[in-house]
Structures are given as C-alpha cells and as structure tokens.
Chain A
Amino acid sequence: QKEVEQDPGPLSVPEGAIVSLNCTYSNSAFQYFMWYRQYSRKGPELLMYTYSSGNKEDGRFTAQVDKSSKYISLFIRDSQPSDSATYLCAITYNFNKFYFGSGTKLNVKP
C-alpha cells in the first residue's frame, strides 16, 4: 500500500470555479502535510503547509487535514487560468523523508 494516494485527474474547470483536490494517506503517524504546485517544465514549489488537523487559509487557497479519516484536501476559490498546474500532496514524519502523491493536473479554462 502506498503511503499517500491522490486523485489522478486531470481536472478541467471554468474560470471562477471552486476546485477541490484530495489525497488519502495510510499511516496515522504522519504529522506534516503539504501541497506543492508544479508548472509545466518546472520543479514543484511549496504552496501550503499544515500541521495536525484543521484548516489553513492563504488567500484563495485552503488546506484541510482530517487526521481521523487520514484525508487531506486543497480548495481553490475563484480559480484562475494561472492556477493551471499539477498539484502534489506530500506528507512527512520528520522532514527527512517526504512521500508525494502522484499529482493532479488542473486546467482552468478562461
């Protein structure tokens, strides 16, 4: 069983839509949860970081962690064409070893 599973997509939405991206993980010991965004032909960049359960908001982005269900989500409000990218969830115990989801490719149509 993989440590983290991610909905593969691709996902295509109209501009202004609310986007929901999701991952599940296998081990309740994971404590740190991240979302990375990767534009075409670029390396991933950290978008959101959360520790433990709950919500964290940053502008149009909200990261949500439900440790009881081992489920993490990223919500994008008022999506823009510039949000078109691949989104990768990542989890870690201790910042030495990160486990990444396979990525969801998002296309926001103008």
Chain B
Amino acid sequence: DVKVTQSSRYLVKRTGEKVFLECVQDMDHENMFWYRQDPGLGLRLIYFSYDVKMKEKGDIPEGYSVSREKKERFSLILESASTNQTSMYLCASSPSGARGEKLFFGSGTQLSVL
C-alpha cells in the first residue's frame, strides 16, 4: 500500500517562528501536493511539485514556500508563522499521467500558531 507520512500529527508554534512540515511518500510518485483544510473552505492547494526541484504555486501560496530535493520528500515551510496559518495541513502524492486521478493523502498535521 502507498504510504504518505507526515512528520507530525500535532504542532504548536509561536507567531513569527519558522515552521517546517515534512512529507515522505514511498511509492515513487512524481507529483506531490500541499493542501490546507479549513472548516467550510475545503481543501485549498498551497503548492505542488511534479518533479524533483520543480514547484508550482497553488491557489494560496502567500506566506509559504516548499522544497523538493528528493523525489520522495516534499517540505512545506512557513517562513514566519502567523495565527491565520492555524489549520490542518495535508500532503498528497500521485503518479503522473493517466493514473494521476488518485491522490494519496497523509493523515495531516494540525498546526496551531499562538
């Protein structure tokens, strides 16, 4: 089974801190995604990557950056955490091409910024 592992289940940080969220997948998928999930707003795409060192902005990239140095790992960075970044963060991966309709999600990281 595909496994997408997010490094932390719960995280509490202070305003202004630099925050790293890590995601690792074990199925050699080309595509990786970072979403945030907020009540009433659904999943919103922050960034995605279709190859190592490649990244594309999603719908809400402001205040975030990403890094993909290895195929299996996709990191989300909050440069200076703010309270409005308190949210559930979900990482996902998928194969490229015609099988790409299936996103495999991690269990999420609930981030609280105080």
Mark A residues whose CB is within 8 Å of B: 6, 8, 32, 34, 36, 41-46, 49, 88, 92, 95-98, 100-103
Contacts and interface: CB of A to CB of B under 8 A. Distances in A.
Contact of B101 (A32, A42, A102): A32
Interface of B: 4, 31, 33, 35, 40-45, 48, 50, 56, 58, 90, 92, 94, 96-97, 100-103, 105-108
A62 to B, nearest CB: 18
B102 A6 contact: no
B3 to A, nearest CB: 11
A95 B107 contact: no
A42 B106 CA distance: 8
A93 to B, nearest CB: 11
B48 A103 contact: no
A43 B31 contact: no
B105 A44 contact: yes
A96 B107 contact: no
B4 A43 contact: yes
Contacts of A6: 42
Contact of B43 (A8, A41, A45, A88): A88
Nearest to A102: B42
A41 B97 CA distance: 30
Nearest to B33: A98
